[in-house]
């Protein structure tokens, strides 16, 4: 193990180097650029043996990765924002074809107005594309997810592409000390990719074919089951990861001071750290505050969230997203989890951080106060509430 | 070498593969139901010049015994072969069910 001072992008690139992808196809876009720059340097200096394809667009980047995966190769790509939207068509091809490609997405605002800073509207708009979606909090987790992602995506029970999301700038461009595993440890953890879902000259296959109304929905059902199966594979993978690397992760969610909490903020990504600090401060004042950090939006942690939230007095969902005309998508998902569990708890949505706007500790403290006192169902931090009632 | 057709309907849940990858040679819908007119080769006039074979965009024409023959399981009925045939040995006829 070595220790380096790295940005989120650089940490993710280190994790990908250890995962030994055979094909990397990418198109640079802020704030993702550094991860693919570092990977291209690794290919150039020979520390990563991969075919690096500098394609002409994001649509081509993922198409190329699909082709590589269909040839049985471990493939990697990375993008952000408009790039993710441009490759949207291919997201569905990759998921439907069950190609376990790993993609890093630097979460960034979507135009218009044009903006390069971080929010999560790009990836959350693609929740239905059939990809696993993780949201890292810090650079160490980003590196570890890069390594774990292939184990999870390539598992025969899963066979599903994996989108690892890092908050643009806040995570991709900030530096912290990161432990980098050894090559030997990484190889012990992650065996080479083997699959029957590939071109084989000895045993010709039809690949990426059409399916009519009689069978199409069976394929979709099986893809759904594959994504659901990722939940238990994530748990197994994290256990083996802890055995080899000594770092422990907690599955689809990470709970903080939730056991006896009255008021909980559910959130995702790098803002969770500030939420925990605020919870600590409020605990000092006798307020039982807690935090649930969603690590995976797909598969969605229905049971995990319901188990924690069903006993609280009120919860908030804090997200850098808005589904225009309704509410934040994370809020919709969390509410559905509680409804399915038969729980009836007051919940409120807080939209913040759009286009990279700062969410302050004072903002988070006010969220805890607001949900204790009752507020509008949907609130834009610093602007005001929605009109759909208290 | 062309794939051969093994038309089959009514797949069970277990028969549907986990991913879109399956043993080659299966065609579940002959010519995808696209064709409204079909090319018919007059074998007496055909001189086996291979122009239709070269121009067919779906590669469904073969030369057998010096004459062009069409694989109707794959032909989409576009009519390019009839257009390109210099001696008029290919006629487009209405598709009959």
Residue B72 is part of a domain; what is its CATH number? 3.30.70.20
Residue A272 has pLDDT above 70, yes or no: yes
CA distance A259 to A211: 48
Q: Is the dihedral of CA B70, B72, B74, B78 positive or negative?
A: positive
Q: Which two tokens stand for residue A346?
A: 């007051």
CA distance A295 to A256: 13
Nearest to B9 among A211, A214, A222 (CB): A214
By C-alpha distance, the chain A residue nearest B24 is: A205
CA distance A97 to A108: 27
Assess contact for A356 and A119: CB atoms under 8 A: yes
Expressed as residue numbers, the domain containing B51 is 34-94
Buried b or exposed e, range A184-214, using 16+ CB within 10 angstroms = ebbeebbeebebebbeeeeeebbbbeebeee
Q: Answer whether A198 sits within 8 Å of B21, measured CB to CB.
A: yes
Buried b or exposed e, range A244-265, using 16+ CB within 10 angstroms = ebeeebebbbbbbbbeebbbbb
Q: Answer whether B24 sits within 8 Å of A205, measured CB to CB.
A: yes
In a domain, B86, yes or no: yes
Interface of chain B against chain A, CB under 8 Å?
A: 9-11, 13, 16, 18-26, 28-29
In a domain, B24, yes or no: no
Q: Answer whether A208 sits within 8 Å of B20, measured CB to CB.
A: yes
User: What is residue A284's predicted lDDT score, i.e. its pLDDT?
Assistant: 98
Confidence band (pLDDT; 50, 70, 90) for B32?
low
H-run or E-run covering B84:
helix B80-84
C-alpha distances in angstroms, B24 versus A203, A216, A222, A319, B5?
8, 18, 21, 47, 10
Best of B12, B19, B24, B29 to substitute, by most chain A Cβ atoms within 10 angstroms, is B19
Assess contact for B67 and B27: CB atoms under 8 A: no
Residue A386 has pLDDT above 80, yes or no: no
Confidence band (pLDDT; 50, 70, 90) for A379?
very high
Q: Answer whether B16 sits within 8 Å of A226, measured CB to CB.
A: no
Most confident of A55-59, A200-204, B18-22, B68-72: A55-59
Q: Answer whether B21 sits within 8 Å of A226, measured CB to CB.
A: no
C-alpha distances in angstroms, A232 versus A164, A238, A320, B33?
18, 10, 28, 43
Q: Answer whether A218 sits within 8 Å of B18, measured CB to CB.
A: no
In a domain, B3, yes or no: no
A206 touches chain B (CB under 8 A): yes
Q: What pairing do the DSSP bridges indicate for beta strands A346-351 and A378-380?
A: parallel
Dihedrals φ, ψ of A168, to 5°?
Answer: -60, 135
Nearest to B20 among A97, A196, A203 (CB): A97
User: What is residue A307's predicted lDDT score, i.e. its pLDDT?
Assistant: 98
Query: Residue by residue, what is the 3-state secondary structure of B14-83?
Result: CCCCCCCEEECCCCCCHHHHCCCEEEEECCCCCCCCCHHHHHCCCCCEEEECCEEEECCCCCCCCCHHHH
**pLDDT digit string, tens, across residues A106-159:** 999 999 999 999 999 999 999 999 999 999 999 999 999 999 999 999 999 999
In this structure, chain A runs to a length of 390
Confidence band (pLDDT; 50, 70, 90) for B97?
low
User: What is residue A390's predicted lDDT score, i.e. its pLDDT?
Assistant: 42
Assess contact for B11 and B54: CB atoms under 8 A: no
Q: Answer whether B18 sits within 8 Å of A207, measured CB to CB.
A: no
Best of B20, B27, B31, B33 to substitute, by most chain A Cβ atoms within 10 angstroms, is B20
Number of neighbouring beta carbons within 10 Å of residue A88: 15
Q: Answer whether B16 sits within 8 Å of A215, measured CB to CB.
A: yes
Confidence band (pLDDT; 50, 70, 90) for B2?
low
Give how many domains chain B has, as a whole number: 1
**pLDDT digit string, tens, across residues B6-15:** 666 678 899 8
Nearest to B21 among A197, A212, A218 (CB): A197
Confidence band (pLDDT; 50, 70, 90) for A170?
very high
User: What is residue B31's predicted lDDT score, i.e. its pLDDT?
Assistant: 65
Best of A67, A159, A215 to substitute, by most chain B Cβ atoms within 10 angstroms, is A215
In a domain, B13, yes or no: no
Nearest CA distance, A371 vs chain B (angstrom): 45
Residue B3 has pLDDT above 70, yes or no: no
Residue A318 pairs in a beta bridge with A350
A202 touches chain B (CB under 8 A): no
In a domain, B84, yes or no: yes
A196 touches chain B (CB under 8 A): yes
Mean pLDDT of A187-210: 93
Confidence band (pLDDT; 50, 70, 90) for A210?
confident
Of A132-141, A365-374, B57-66, which gets the smallest average pLDDT?
Answer: B57-66
Residue A96 with chain B: CB contacts under 8 Å: 20
In a domain, B17, yes or no: no
CA distance A42 to A65: 19
Confidence band (pLDDT; 50, 70, 90) for A389?
very low
A369 touches chain B (CB under 8 A): no
**H helix intervals, chain A:** 8-19, 33-44, 58-70, 81-86, 88-96, 121-124, 139-154, 183-189, 216-245, 272-284, 302-309, 329-340, 361-373
Say whether A215 sits in a helix, a strand or coil. coil
User: What is residue A154's predicted lDDT score, i.e. its pLDDT?
Assistant: 98
Nearest to A96 among B9, B13, B20 (CB): B20
**pLDDT digit string, tens, across residues A86-96:** 999 999 999 99
Q: Answer whether A206 sits within 8 Å of B25, measured CB to CB.
A: yes
Number of neighbouring beta carbons within 10 Å of residue B96: 5
Q: Answer whether A98 sits within 8 Å of B19, measured CB to CB.
A: yes
Nearest CA distance, B85 vs chain A (angstrom): 33
C-alpha distances in angstroms, A20 versus A1, A190, A193, A200?
17, 9, 10, 22
Residue ranges and CATH numbers for the domains of chain A are 2-245 (3.40.50.970), 253-385 (3.40.50.920)
In a domain, B81, yes or no: yes
In a domain, B65, yes or no: yes
Best of A155, A216, A218, A220 to substitute, by most chain B Cβ atoms within 10 angstroms, is A218
Q: Which of A284, A227, A307 is nearest to A292 (CA)?
A: A307
């Amino acid at each position: 193990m070595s220790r380096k001072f790295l940005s989120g992008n650089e940490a993710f690139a280190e994790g990908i180097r250890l995962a030994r992808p055979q094909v990397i196809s990418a198109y640079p876009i802020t704030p993702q650029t550094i991860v693919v720059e570092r990977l291209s340097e690794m290919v150039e200096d020979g520390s990563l043996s991969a075919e690096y394809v500098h394609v002409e667009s994001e649509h081509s980047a993922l198409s190329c990765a699909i082709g590589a995966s269909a040839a049985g190769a471990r493939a990697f790509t990375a993008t952000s924002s408009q790039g993710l939207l441009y490759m949207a068509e291919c997201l569905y091809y990759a998921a439907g074809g069950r190609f376990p490609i790993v993609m890093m997405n630097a979460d960034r605002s979507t135009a218009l107005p044009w903006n390069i800073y971080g929010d999560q509207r790009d990836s959350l708009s693609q929740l239905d594309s059939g990809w696993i979606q993780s949201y890292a909090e810090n650079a160490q987790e980003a590196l570890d997810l890069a390594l774990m992602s292939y184990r999870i995506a390539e598992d025969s029970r899963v066979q599903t592409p994996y989108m690892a999301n890092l908050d643009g700038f806040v995570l991709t461009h900030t530096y912290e000390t990161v432990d980098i595993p050894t090559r030997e440890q990484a190889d012990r953890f992650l065996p080479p990719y083997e699959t029957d879902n590939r071109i084989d000259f000895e045993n010709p296959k039809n690949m990426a074919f059409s399916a009519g109304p009689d069978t199409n929905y069976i394929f979709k059902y099986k893809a759904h089951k594959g994504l659901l199966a990722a939940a238990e594979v994530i748990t197994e993978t994290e256990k083996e990861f802890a055995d080899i690397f000594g770092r422990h992760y907690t599955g689809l969610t990470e709970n903080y001071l939730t056991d006896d909490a009255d008021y909980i903020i559910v959130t995702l990504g790098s803002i969770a750290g500030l939420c925990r600090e605020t919870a600590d401060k409020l605990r000092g004042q006798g307020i039982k505050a807690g935090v649930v950090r969603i690590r995976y939006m797909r598969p969605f942690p229905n049971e995990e969230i319901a188990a924690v939230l069903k006993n609280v007095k009120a919860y908030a969902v804090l997200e850098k997203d808005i589904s225009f005309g309704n509410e934040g998508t994370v809020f919709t998902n969390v509410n559905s989890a509680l409804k399915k569990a038969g729980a009836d708890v007051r919940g409120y949505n807080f939209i913040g951080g759009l286009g990279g706007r700062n969410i302050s500790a004072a903002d988070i403290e006010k969220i805890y106060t607001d949900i204790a006192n009752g507020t509008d169902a949907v609130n834009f931090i610093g602007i005001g509430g929605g009109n759909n009632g208290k | 070498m062309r794939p051969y057709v093994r038309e089959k309907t009514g797949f069970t849940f277990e028969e549907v593969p986990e991913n879109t990858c399956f043993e080659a040679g299966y065609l579940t819908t002959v010519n995808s139901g696209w064709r409204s007119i079909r090319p018919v080769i007059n074998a007496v006039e055909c001189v086996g010049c291979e122009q239709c074979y070269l121009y067919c965009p779906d590669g469904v024409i073969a030369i057998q015994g010096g004459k062009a023959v069409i694989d109707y399981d794959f032909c989409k009925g576009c009519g390019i072969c009839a257009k390109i045939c210099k001696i008029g040995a290919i006629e487009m006829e209405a598709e009959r069910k």
